[in-house]
């Protein structure tokens, strides 16, 4: 029962979450992060840290496709455990609908 990063992370990517994860299971894409479902120990510490409220427990209904996306990209994107520079326009994207269309499969830099 891992936690999952969902749509509102796209283009917000504040990265407050990565600093608190005790097992460093966040992975960085170009415009969002994902959680490795097999590494997450389900501690829940990251959930309230996300200003975009993008992190959810996978027990919440309707998150199957996001769990798949987290599982898929955490295999290839680089690990991130230190907060980087958030996008300058991140706040403007917070809460906007339809951000899945803007998802980038490209990896981020990691840290
Ligand atoms: S804090 Fe939230 S919006 Fe920021 S990178 Fe983590 S999951 Fe994404
Ligand atoms: S629930 Fe805990 S282990 Fe899982 S990603 Fe969040 S901080 Fe890391």
For the domain that residue 70 is a member of, what is the CATH number? 3.30.70.20
Which pLDDT does position 86 carry in this prediction?
A: 86
12 within a domain of the structure (yes/no): yes
90 within a domain of the structure (yes/no): no
Of all protein residues, whose CA lies closest to atom 8 belonging to ligand 2? Answer: 21
Q: Which residue range is the domain that position 7 belongs to?
A: 3-80
58 within a domain of the structure (yes/no): yes
DSSP code of residue 10: T
Kindly state the tokens that stand for 11.
Answer: 């283009």
**Considering the entire predicted model, what is its pTM?**
0.96
88 within a domain of the structure (yes/no): no
For the cut 80, the answer to whether the pLDDT of residue 1 exceeds it is no
Q: What is the pLDDT of residues 47-91, one digit of tens each?
A: 999 999 999 999 999 999 999 999 999 999 999 999 988 889 999
The total of structural domains in the chain comes to 1
Which pLDDT does position 13 carry in this prediction?
A: 78
In whole angstroms, how far apart are CA 44 and each of 52, 58, 69, 98, 101?
15, 11, 19, 26, 28
Q: What is the pLDDT of residues 13-50, one digit of tens each?
A: 788 999 999 999 999 999 999 999 999 999 999 999 99
101 within a domain of the structure (yes/no): no
Ligand nearest to the CA of 16: 1
Which pLDDT does position 66 carry in this prediction?
A: 97
Which atom belonging to ligand 2 lies closest to the Cα atom of 41?
A: 3
Q: Which of 29, 34, 30 is nearest to 50 (CA)?
A: 34
**What residues flank ligand 1, with Cβ below 6 Å?**
5, 9, 12-17, 33, 50, 52, 54-55
For the cut 80, the answer to whether the pLDDT of residue 6 exceeds it is yes
């Amino acid at each position: 029962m891992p936690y999952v990063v969902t749509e509102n992370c796209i283009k917000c990517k504040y990265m407050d979450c990565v600093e608190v994860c005790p097992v460093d299971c966040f992975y960085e894409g170009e415009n969002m992060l994902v959680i490795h479902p097999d590494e997450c120990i389900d501690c829940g510490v990251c959930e309230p840290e996300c200003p975009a409220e993008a992190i959810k427990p996978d027990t919440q209904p309707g998150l199957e496709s996001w769990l798949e996306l987290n599982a898929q990209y955490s295999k290839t994107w680089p690990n991130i455990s230190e907060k980087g520079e958030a996008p300058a326009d991140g706040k403007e994207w917070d809460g906007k609908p339809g951000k899945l269309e803007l998802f980038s499969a490209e990896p981020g830099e990691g840290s």
